[in-house]
Structure 1
Amino acid sequence: MLRHVVAQVFGNFGQAARLTLLLTFLPMGLLLVLFLSTGATLDPSMGQGDMPNPGMIFLLVLAGIVVSAITYCWAAVGWHRFVLLEEYGNGLVPRWHGGFVLSYIGRAILLGIVVFLIAFVSSLVLGGLLFALPGVVSLLVVTGWVLGMSWVITRLGLILPAAALGEPMSIGESWRATAPVATDLLVPLFIIALAMSVLGGLVNLVFQGSVLGFIPQGLLYWIQILLNLSLMTTLYGTQVQGRTLN
């Protein structure tokens, strides 16, 4: 499964860039330009009278969140449809499917609410135990909890590629569909997270906090998004559509 996910991304790297790269970073660039245009600065010596309107900053951040959600889901729908339907994009962006993008956003919000509730309850239970455990053990427990939450998200997340195809699917159906590969999922989830953490650490080590380090960090962020989307796409293809791994 991990081999198939990696091959899916890097074997179609050019198409992946055309479908998702611009939409991933465009909101960040626009928000930065708009933010700077208000006169905002990180200089602590700036006087209170020179501060931009807080209401304007709030609106810009809110607009950035909305635009980011739309562009991310647009890119995700495009990638799912490319892999599962061989649908190519238009130039530097995927084809626009407004209904599918809105459905994707709605299901992503639903998934976020369910995952938040699970994370909240489990963290309350876990929090009491961490104080009684040694530091190293606590770190391992927290790492396991993060991996477990990624596992839950992935198992419930087949509703997202289903939305990209315009197919109905409930969270319960996604959970049941992934049951046969529930244990196998831990391997790609762990390896992808470990690889991205190690590479991110190397970037920090090389650039030592330099602004230039944002470029490779951004690329790693983009690649991790692609790998996670491809994992759900692969699961949908194998567990729902009955495809076989190459």
Structure 2
Amino acid sequence: MQGWKLFKHALRMVIGNWREVLRIFFVPMILGIVVFFAFLFGVTFLLGEGVLPVFAFAAILAYVTVASWCIVSWHRFVLLEERPTKWLPPFDFSAVVFYFLRGFGLGLIFFVLAMPLLLVVVPSLEAFGAFASIIVAIAVLVGVSVFCMRLSLVLPAVAVDEPMTMRESFAATKQATLPFAGLVVTYGALQAGLNMMSEYFADTENLLGMLATFVGLILFGLINISLLTTFYGHYVEGRAID
């Protein structure tokens, strides 16, 4: 129940502040997409395919930087009430850099924990059948996801200039293990349904359905960001989520 409340609160946060969502995300993300493809295809066209790996990395780095810029601005809007007044939110270089580094660190932790378990534990259960392997794989992913979610408060903390360690984040969410597990299962089921819809509409070339699915994917991305904001507001600042 608590996990569902967290999800609903994040959803209401996005829908209720759709004007601010546009101001914070629209123009920077368009710029990020343009820069991404300019690096990836424009430079490659001018200099040849030999430089593709280098500029592909540069393109990804540029896009991730823009995304971090937008996410930091969103956290600050919700938690510090820094309402955007222009179509380009303020760019805090240090906050964006540290946000990116913290996010990279969390992603690395997830990979280091999940991959060995999936590559070692799951194959060892093949003798018990495919169903057992699937169940254990899901359990591993849910467990590692919950662990990383308990560490994730470091991200909005950086954005609002109140840095905290992963140990402090883990301690602040000591009552959140079960809610986070429920949230991971709920979110995963909804995401799987959305992916199935995306594949179906792509196969049938239903443009309206593909557009609706694309909007749904964007909404889920925004909800994911807002969940981090909700975690910090609820577990650190004690804000209500009802």
TM-score, normalization by structure 2: 0.84
Deviations along 1:36-58, one digit per CA (max 9) or x if unpaired, are 43677xxxxxxxxxxx7333212
Q: Secondary structure at the match of 1:180?
A: coil
Cα shift at 1:129: 2.8
Cα shift at 1:222: 2.5
For 1:182, the equivalent position in structure 2 comes to 177
For 1:37, the equivalent position in structure 2 comes to 42
| Residues 93, 134 of structure 1: alpha-carbon distance in 2 compared, 3 angstrom cutoff | farther
For 2:215, the equivalent position in structure 1 comes to 219
AA aligned to 1:224 is F
How far apart, in 2, do the equivalents of 1:188 and 1:94 lie? 30
Of 4, 8, 21 in structure 2, the residue corresponding to residue 3 of structure 1 is: 8
Cα shift at 1:194: 1.6
Of 202, 210, 213 in structure 2, the residue corresponding to residue 207 of structure 1 is: 202
For 2:69, the equivalent position in structure 1 comes to 74
The answer to whether residue 175 in structure 2 is matched with residue 154 in structure 1 is: no
For 1:241, the equivalent position in structure 2 comes to 237
Identity, in percent, stands at: 27
Unaligned ranges ≥5, structure 2? 1-5
Q: How many residues align?
A: 236
| Residues 206, 117 of structure 1: alpha-carbon distance in 2 compared, 3 angstrom cutoff | closer
For 1:97, the equivalent position in structure 2 comes to 92
Q: Which moved more, 1:101-110 or 1:170-179?
A: 101-110
Q: Which moved more, 1:221-230 or 1:15-24?
A: 15-24
How far apart, in 2, do the equivalents of 1:209 and 1:99 lie? 46
CA contact (8 A) 2:201 2:210 kept: no
Q: Secondary structure at the match of 2:178?
A: coil
Q: Which moved more, 1:53-62 or 1:121-130?
A: 121-130
**Greater helix share, structure number:** 2
AA aligned to 1:134 is G
How far apart, in 2, do the equivalents of 1:183 and 1:164 lie? 26
> Runs in 1 of length 4+ with deviation above 4 angstroms?
209-218
Unaligned ranges ≥5, structure 1? 41-51
Q: Secondary structure at the match of 1:87?
A: coil
The answer to whether residue 160 in structure 2 is matched with residue 165 in structure 1 is: yes
CA RMSD of aligned residues (A): 2.6
Q: Secondary structure at the match of 1:185?
A: helix
CA contact (8 A) 1:100 1:163 kept: yes
For 2:3, the equivalent position in structure 1 comes to none
How far apart, in 2, do the equivalents of 1:27 and 1:211 lie? 28
CA contact (8 A) 1:2 1:188 kept: yes
Cα shift at 1:25: 5.0
TM-score, normalization by structure 1: 0.83
How far apart, in 2, do the equivalents of 1:167 and 1:161 lie? 8
AA aligned to 1:219 is V
For 1:194, the equivalent position in structure 2 comes to 189
Aligned counterparts, 1:34-73, within 5 A: 34-37=39-42, 53-73=48-68
AA aligned to 2:227 is L
AA aligned to 1:141 is V
How far apart, in 2, do the equivalents of 1:70 and 1:38 lie? 19
Of 1, 5, 21 in structure 2, the residue corresponding to residue 16 of structure 1 is: 21
